[in-house]
Structure formats: C-alpha cells, structure tokens
Amino acid sequence: MNRLKNANLLSVIICAIIIIALTSCHNSYPTQLVQADSLLLCGDYDQVDSLLADYDRNPSSNKSSRMYRQLVGMGRLFVDEELTDSNFSVVDSLCRYYDHSSTPDEYAKSLCFLGEIYRTMGDFPSALDNFLKGIKIAKENESSRVSCWLYKEIGDVYFDQSMLAECTSYYRNYYNIAVSNRDTLRMALASFRMGRVYTTYNKVDSIIYYYQKAINLAQYTAHPENIVPYAQGSLCYIYIQTEEFDKAKEQISRDSLYDFNWAYWHLGQNHTDSAIYYFEKLQDRYGLPVHEEAYRYLAQLEESRGNISKALSYYRALPAIEDSIAAQSRVEETERVNAQFNVNLFKQERDDLAFQNHISNILLGTILVIVVLVAFIVFYAWRFYQQKKNAEILLERRLRREKERQHRQSINQIEENKQKIASLEQQLAEAVRRNDTAAADRIKLDTELLASENQNLEIRQQRRNLAQKEFHESELYAHIKRRDCEQDFHLSEAEWELLAQYIDNIHDDFTNRLLRLCNMSEMELRVCYLIKIDVPPIAISTLVCRNKNAISMLRKRLYEKITHQEGNAKQLDDFIKHF
C-alpha cells in the first residue's frame, strides 16, 4: 500500500512536470487549455472542468485557440464515454485541421475521438482504421499518454467483436504504458478490462486477480466510485457462480447499487423471499433485458412457493417484455442506421464542398496563370517594341553621324582645295606680272583641276545622300526592317542582288573594294552587306540560315582573314561599318 501511495504521489509530480512542459511547448495556446489538456490525460477531470469554465469566460478569438478548445471539449466527452454521432462534424473538422498542421499530438487525439464515434455506431472497421492511424502517429511522436488511450480503444473494438486474443494484447499494452507513466487511474481501468476478458474465457483465478487489482488501484484515484462498485459487483457475481457466498458478501454493501448482486446472492442460497424482494427491486432500476431475467426468476420463485397466480402473471408478462426488447433492438438498429446515414451524408457534403473548392482553386490558378502569361507576353511585346524602336533610333543616329562625317570630310576637302585655288590665283597673278606664259598656263590648269575636284566632291556627296535616301525609302529596306526577327524570313536571290546594288551605289563600289582586300564566299559577302545596313546578329543568322554561334565564328574568322590579325566578331562589325 505504501508503494501505491508513493506511486500516486510520483504520478502527481509527473503530471505537474507534463503541464509545465506542455505549457512551454504550446506557446500559441492559452494556458488554461494547455493545463486542461494535460490534466485530461492525467485523469483529474474536476480540475479540467474548472479550467475550461475559467477559459470560456474570456475565450481567445484566433482560430488555433478555437480549434484547440474544441479538441479539449471533445476529449472531455471522450473520457466520460459521451461521444456520439452528433459530434461527428466537429471531430471530423478537427481531424482535417490538425492533419495539415505541425501538431501530431493533437492529430492523434482527433483520430482517437473519431474512431470512438465510429465504434459507438458499430462501424468497427472505420473505428479501427482511425485508431491504428492514431497509434502510429502517437508512437512516432513518443506520446505515451495518447498511446495509452488508443491501446484501450483498440482493445475495446476487438472486445466488442469477441476477438479476445487480439484485445488481450492491446489491453496489456494499455496497462504497461499506464505503469510506465505511473498512471494509477488507467492501471485500474486496464485491470478492470482484463477482468472482463477473463470472464469471457471463464478463467476464475484470473478474473478474481484482475478485478481485485482494479479495486485496490482505484482506491488511489480521484474518483474510486467510478470503478470500485462495478469491479466489486463483477467479483461478487463470480464468487456467487463458484458458490463462495461469504467472499461474495464481502464485496457488496446494502447500497441499492448492489441490488442486482444481492438478488443472485440470495437466489444462489435458495433464500426465496429475499431473492424475490431484490428481483422485484430490479424492475425499477434496470433496462428491459434485466427485467426479462428478473421476471423469469420471479415466476420460478413464485411457482416454487406455490403462488401459481402470481407466477402466471410473471409468465404472461414475459412475451410483452420480449416484444419490447425486440422493438428496442429495432429502434436501436434504426437509430444506428440513421446515424450512419447522417454521417455518410455529412461526409458526402464535405467531399462535395472540398471538390468544389478544389475546382475553384484550379480555376483561380488557371486564371492567374493566364493573367501572368498575358502580362508576360504584353511585357515581352512592349520590350521588343522598345528594343526595336531604340535600335531604329540608334541606327538613325549612326547614319546621321556617318552622313555628317562624310559631309565634313567633303567640306574640308573643298575648303582645302579653295585655299589651294586662292594660292594658285596669287601664283597666276605673279606669273602674269612676270610675263611667264608657261607657268601661267600650268597654274590655270591646276586651278581648273581643283575646281573640278570640288565640283565632283559636291556631286558625289549629293549622289550618296540621294542613294541612301532611295535605299531607306525602298520596299526592300522596309521589308528587311519589318521582318528581320521572324524565324522564317529569308531574302530571294533577286533581293540579295538588289541589296548589293544599293550598298555599292551608296558606298562607292563597296563590293569590289572589299573583294580587293581578300577573296570572300557568297555567304561572307552577304554577312558584310547585312552588317553594313545595321542588321543585328540574331537577324543575320535568320537571313542566311545559320545559327547565332556559327555567324559569330564566321565574323571572327573573316576579321582575321581581312586584317591578318586576331580579333572578334565586334571588331569585324566596326571595320565593315567604317569601310
């Protein structure tokens, strides 16, 4: 007994440590709920009710706290064995919520509660499925107290189906975990359940051992009255069966709670009057199955006393009780089917809603992708337009600078020639003054040559400007600039020849002057033409049907071929543009 007291004290200390630990681990939950949850696992239900009432006076509004409050509330119903199909929607929502959270302990509890609802409905496969999922999560999370709950529930499922070998192993695990947790309450409950199992096996010694153990352990729990009377009643019934009436009497008192046991105790010893007294009392307290059994024994006892009329009244009442039992069974079956239908209907509505949400999310995602894609296309088109516009502006600036350079060069040459002409005119005047006819004639010819050269320069400049204008206004130039970035755009042979003519007209026999530097293939010439009119490299690769890397290598080799020096593609571009 001292050991049990020490164990009980140690259990209280461990519960306190668990409360502190869980409080620190659940910073997102209100303290009252965390403490209530911990005490629920420890079995201090009065304190749980007090904490929940305290919390409900000023509840938190955030979702995690609201869901946690529902979880603890369902746990309170669970330990009182009051979970029904009416709680299915709440427990199902808890399972779905905690399935997607990072709190496996809460998810395991939710599965435990959902399994208990299925068990009360008689849907044992669904109950077992949820319990097994929960036990797997609880083991992975090393949550021994939740595992304790689940082992008990799985054992109950097997016991309800008379699968005694399976339920025994789970009840033993239930008991062993309770021992490791110093949980006296669940040690007592596990012992009581083992007593029930061995009652079915009809192993008297084991039955007596486990029920007596449950009674002894229950004395050290907060509410022994929840276990002791039922264990004593069961133990009394066993002693009556073995005709150990003195031992049976030791287990029960004169409390009306034990009327059932007293009835059989007197019946076993042929105390007819006392047995009749207690069997008659049973009619006011128990359900129809007990009434049927009581009426049967009352009829037999009255018959043994010679009270035939009263015995017959009990016999006549038996069919009505049997009909009531059958009707009650049908009602229970109807209620069970109705509960199952309601659960299935709720699940169907839930799945339909989830499917609609899924479709909505897909539709929303598709719209979002389309919007992003359209925005990307618009942005790319705008950027391409801007790049093309900037390239055109840059080309226009280059052409303008080139024209200005050529114009300045011509003007400089003309000015230089004018200065020479002025000098020659002075020399001519000096020669005339000296009467040097030959020198005067030579100077006149030199002056005429310089004047003619100035005239040619002006004409050539005008011709170049007109040729450039003609090219820039030509259909070929517009055709190239409009489609130079299209993948399938190419020039015909006639268009290549026309392009060469335009370039030769603008740049003074460009082709022949270029070929005098080195021999070139038709491909190399065409690349030079396109560089000369400022076509970008990527468009060049399209127009000559080569990839960009090949064009880059060709330009690099051509530069080295022309200049006999190492270089790169850009150096060739600069060379051709200024050639």
Mean pLDDT of 421-444: 74
Residue type, 338: N
Q: What is the pLDDT of residue 483?
A: 63
More confident call, 189 vs 355: 189
Q: What is the pLDDT of residue 456?
A: 72
Q: Look at residue 521 and tell me if it is in a domain.
A: yes
How far, in Å, CA of 108 to CA of 146, rounded?
Answer: 7
Confidence category of residue 17, pLDDT binned at 50, 70, 90: low
What's the chain's length in residues? 579
Residue 135 and residue 36 share a domain: no
- Other residues' Cβ atoms within 10 Å of the Cβ of residue 304: 12
Give rounded-to-5 percent helix, strand, coil for the chain: 85, 0, 15
- Find tokens 């064009």 and name the residue: 551
How far, in Å, CA of 29 to CA of 66, rounded?
Answer: 9
More confident call, 26 vs 31: 31
More confident call, 406 vs 107: 107
Residue 74 and residue 15 share a domain: no
Residue 80 and residue 97 share a domain: yes
Q: Look at residue 497 and tell me if it is in a domain.
A: yes
Using only the alpha carbons of the chain, give its radius of gyration. Answer: 53
In degrees to the nearest 10, what's the CA dihedral of 536, 540, 541, 543?
A: 140
Q: What is the pLDDT of residue 560?
A: 85
Residue 155 and residue 102 share a domain: yes
pLDDT in tens, 304-332: 888 888 888 888 888 887 888 788 888 77
How far, in Å, CA of 39 to CA of 17, rounded?
Answer: 11
Residue 34 and residue 14 share a domain: yes
How far, in Å, CA of 181 to CA of 427, rounded?
Answer: 128
pLDDT in tens, 457-470: 677 777 777 777 77
CA 216, distance to chain mean position in Å, is 50
Q: What is the pLDDT of residue 22?
A: 46
More confident call, 39 vs 431: 39
Indicate if the pLDDT at residue 552 is higher than 60.
yes
- Most confident option among 59-63, 210-214, 401-405, 539-543: 210-214
Taking CA atoms, 338 is separated from 93, 127, 352, in Å, by 21, 18, 21
Last residue of a domain, which of 181, 197, 231? Answer: 181
Residue 36 and residue 137 share a domain: no
Cβ–Cβ under 8 Å, residues 63 and 100: no
Q: What is the pLDDT of residue 133?
A: 92
More confident call, 543 vs 265: 265
Q: What is the CATH number of the domain that holds 120?
A: 1.25.40.10
Confidence category of residue 285, pLDDT binned at 50, 70, 90: confident
Q: What is the pLDDT of residue 194?
A: 92
**Half-sphere exposure (Cβ direction) of 177: Cα atoms closer than 13 Å:** 24
How far, in Å, CA of 431 to CA of 438, rounded?
Answer: 9
Pick from 548, 549, 547, 504: nearest CA to 528: 504
**Half-sphere exposure (Cβ direction) of 49: Cα atoms closer than 13 Å:** 6
- Find tokens 């997607």 and name the residue: 100
Cβ–Cβ under 8 Å, residues 86 and 94: no
Mean pLDDT of 137-160: 90
More confident call, 26 vs 99: 99
Q: Look at residue 440 and tell me if it is in a domain.
A: no
Residue 204 and residue 151 share a domain: no
- Structural domain containing residue 213: 184-266
Q: What is the CATH number of the domain that holds 203?
A: 1.25.40
Alpha helices in 435-488 (DSSP H): 437-472, 475-483
- Other residues' Cβ atoms within 10 Å of the Cβ of residue 362: 10
Q: Which of 327-341, 506-520, 558-572 has the lowest average pLDDT?
A: 327-341
Taking CA atoms, 175 is separated from 4, 150, 474, in Å, by 15, 12, 99
Q: What is the pLDDT of residue 171?
A: 92
Taking CA atoms, 481 is separated from 2, 111, 490, 544, 572, in Å, by 102, 70, 12, 15, 22
pLDDT in tens, 43-90: 778 888 999 999 989 888 888 899 999 999 999 999 888 998 889 999
Residue 88 and residue 44 share a domain: no
Q: What is the pLDDT of residue 4?
A: 44
pLDDT in tens, 490-538: 788 888 888 888 888 887 788 888 888 888 888 888 888 888 888 888 8
Q: What is the mean pLDDT of the chain?
A: 82
Last residue of a domain, which of 202, 237, 266? Answer: 266
Q: Look at residue 233 and tell me if it is in a domain.
A: yes
Residue 485 and residue 571 share a domain: yes
Indicate if the pLDDT at residue 417 is higher than 60.
yes
Residue 71 and residue 153 share a domain: yes
Structurally, how many domains does the chain consist of?
Answer: 4
pTM, to two decimals:
0.58
Confidence category of residue 24, pLDDT binned at 50, 70, 90: very low
Pick from 271, 175, 265, 275: nearest CA to 217: 175
Residue 534 and residue 497 share a domain: yes
More confident call, 26 vs 493: 493
Q: Look at residue 84 and tell me if it is in a domain.
A: yes
Confidence category of residue 2, pLDDT binned at 50, 70, 90: very low
Confidence category of residue 572, pLDDT binned at 50, 70, 90: confident
Q: Look at residue 435 and tell me if it is in a domain.
A: no
How far, in Å, CA of 498 to CA of 476, rounded?
Answer: 8
Mean pLDDT of 416-436: 74
Q: Look at residue 558 and tell me if it is in a domain.
A: yes
How far, in Å, CA of 349 to CA of 176, rounded?
Answer: 42
Q: What is the pLDDT of residue 213?
A: 93
pLDDT in tens, 102-128: 788 899 999 999 999 999 888 899 999
Q: Look at residue 291 and tell me if it is in a domain.
A: no
Last residue of a domain, which of 27, 55, 83? Answer: 55
Residue 204 and residue 162 share a domain: no
Taking CA atoms, 92 is separated from 74, 99, 129, in Å, by 11, 10, 14
How far, in Å, CA of 32 to CA of 38, rounded?
Answer: 10
